[in-house]
Amino acid sequence: QSALTQPASVSGSPGQSITISCTGASSDIYDYKASSDSYDYNYVSWYQQHPGKAPKLLIYEVNSRPSGVPDRFSGSKSGNTASLTISGLQAEDEADYYCTSCTRSGSALRFGGGTKLTVL
């Protein structure tokens, strides 16, 4: 069972925007700060994987993009849920998308179950 929960599938038409959520279900992947009623959940990354290919890093530290990743891809976080938004959908965006976060102890990486994006 994944410590991070993602929808199994999402779909959209070319040119549209879609959002994929990633919800932390385990307390060891983020710190709850009672003083601010917030979650320290900053080491969230997102990956894109096309069939038969290795995953590719899209987003790190919640909302940063590696060099070469189009700005159509963006990340955000609210409470214990991180999100990946893809705007201006293109046919080549059809792929599987995974979120990850490290455990609070820094001794493991957790993957979400993955979301299959279909471009209609």
Partner 1 sequence: QVQLVESGGGVVQPGKSLRLSCVASGFSFNIYAMHWVRQAPGKGLEWVALIWYDGRNEYYVDSVKGRFTISRDNSKNTLYLQMDSLRAEDTAVYYCARLTTAWSLDYWGQGTLVTVSS
Where do contacts with partner 1 occur on this chain (CB under 8 A)?
Answer: 2, 43, 45, 47, 49, 54-57, 60-61, 64, 66, 96, 98, 100-102, 107-114
Query: Which C-beta is closer to partner 1: that of 8 or that of 91?
Result: 8
Q: Which is nearer to partner 1, 49 or 85 (CB)?
A: 49
- Cβ closer to partner 1: 72 or 110? 110
SS3 letters across 11-61: EECCCCCEEEEEEECCHHHCEEECCCCEEECCCEEEEEECCCCCCEEEEEC
CB of 9 to partner 1, least distance (A): 13
> Residue 88 CB, nearest distance to partner 1 (Å)?
24
Q: What is the DSSP letter of 79?
A: T
Query: 2 vs 21, which CB is nearer to partner 1?
Result: 2
Residues 6+ apart with CB under 8 A from 109: 100, 101, 102, 103
In angstroms, give the least distance from the CB of 60 to partner 1: 4
Report the alpha-carbon distance of residue 100 to residue 88 in Å, rounded. Answer: 24
Q: How far is the CB of 14 from partner 1 (least distance, A)?
A: 26
Q: Alpha-carbon distance 94 to 86, whole Å? A: 11
